[in-house]
């Protein structure tokens, strides 16, 4: 069997897991081999917010796109059909994309279960425009958008950080933004006063964080972060 066929077969299994995450499961979170843990009723990790989830008012949540290919050699990026693509997620990245469904929209056989403290079920999902450059931000939240029945918004190119920030200032509900990590602090920088001050850079090795903002009055924002704790090796520490 050729390497290409093996790769397509392997990704097919991962894609099936991501799609399966769109179906309610008894554990309330995404389930998959390779260390994905149920998250629907998990206690907040150290550094996580203890404020209410979907009952806590409007908020904007930021995630970095999931795992990317190595600069050279494996792991490789792959499209959903198994085609190698340097602008796509790796197999582990696709696994995280599926697990994020259980994090942001946990379900039981009886229906929706509470989200983890500090998070909320998204009512809008935004990702950088995948038509130019990286497809990873959009790929990371495509399974979640499908579960939530939302249209994935890809209006803004990755460098349109000021325009995106303008839109987020007047957003209502719970907005989830999937972006490239180097530019997330730039988006926050355009939003105005944030307290406590967020890190000046998103750690290059971290794919496992959620940063979130909630309005704090007079145009300001309060900031916190929640470790995802979805895959083996995810850290409980904030940035």
Q: Which position has the higher pLDDT, 145 or 57? A: 145
Compute the distance between CA of residue 22 and CA of residue 125 in angstroms, rounded to an integer. Answer: 15
Kindly state whether residue 48 falls inside one of the protein's structural domains: no
Kindly state whether residue 236 falls inside one of the protein's structural domains: no
Q: Tell me how many domains the chain contains.
A: 1
Report the chain's mean pLDDT, rounded to a whole number: 83
Look up the domain containing 131 and give its range.
Answer: 3-36+53-227
Kindly state whether residue 146 falls inside one of the protein's structural domains: yes
Tokens of 213: 């903002």
Question: Per residue in 147-173, pLDDT tens?
Answer: 999 999 999 999 999 999 999 999 999
Kindly state whether residue 167 falls inside one of the protein's structural domains: yes
Kindly state whether residue 42 falls inside one of the protein's structural domains: no
pLDDT at 217: 79
Rg (CA), the chain: 17
pLDDT at 21: 44
The pTM of the full predicted model, rounded to 2 decimals, is 0.80
Q: Is the pLDDT of residue 44 over 60?
A: no
Kindly state whether residue 45 falls inside one of the protein's structural domains: no
Kindly state whether residue 234 falls inside one of the protein's structural domains: no
219, containing H or E segment: none
Compute the distance between CA of residue 237 and CA of residue 123 in angstroms, rounded to an integer. Answer: 27
Closest CA to 127 of 191, 214, 63: 63
Indicate which CATH number applies to the domain containing 79: 3.40.50.1240
Kindly state whether residue 210 falls inside one of the protein's structural domains: yes
Average pLDDT over residues 73-84: 95
Question: Per residue in 85-140, pLDDT tens?
Answer: 999 999 999 999 999 999 999 999 999 999 999 999 999 999 999 998 899 999 99
């Amino acid at each position: 069997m050729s390497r290409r066929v093996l790769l397509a077969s392997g990704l097919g299994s991962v894609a099936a897991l991501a799609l399966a995450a769109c179906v309610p499961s008894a554990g309330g979170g995404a389930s998959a081999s390779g260390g994905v843990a149920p998250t629907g009723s998990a206690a907040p990790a150290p550094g996580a917010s203890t404020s209410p989830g979907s009952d806590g008012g409007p908020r904007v949540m930021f995630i970095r796109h999931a795992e990317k290919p190595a600069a050279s050699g494996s792991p490789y990026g792959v499209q959903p059909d198994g085609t190698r693509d340097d602008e796509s997620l790796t197999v582990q990245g696709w696994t995280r994309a599926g697990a994020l469904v259980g994090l942001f929209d946990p379900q039981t056989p009886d229906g929706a279960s509470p989200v983890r403290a500090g998070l909320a079920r998204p009512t809008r999902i935004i990702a950088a425009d995948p038509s130019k450059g990286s497809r990873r931000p959009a790929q990371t939240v495509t399974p979640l958008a499908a579960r939530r029945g939302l249209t994935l918004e890809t209006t803004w190119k990755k460098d349109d950080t000021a325009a995106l920030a303008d839109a987020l200032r007047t957003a209502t509900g719970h907005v989830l933004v999937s972006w490239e990590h180097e530019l997330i602090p730039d988006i926050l920088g355009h939003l105005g006063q944030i307290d406590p001050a967020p890190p000046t850079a998103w750690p290059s090795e971290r794919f496992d964080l959620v940063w979130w903002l909630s309005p704090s009055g007079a145009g300001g924002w309060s900031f916190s972060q929640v470790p995802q704790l979805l895959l083996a090796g995810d850290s409980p520490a904030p940035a």
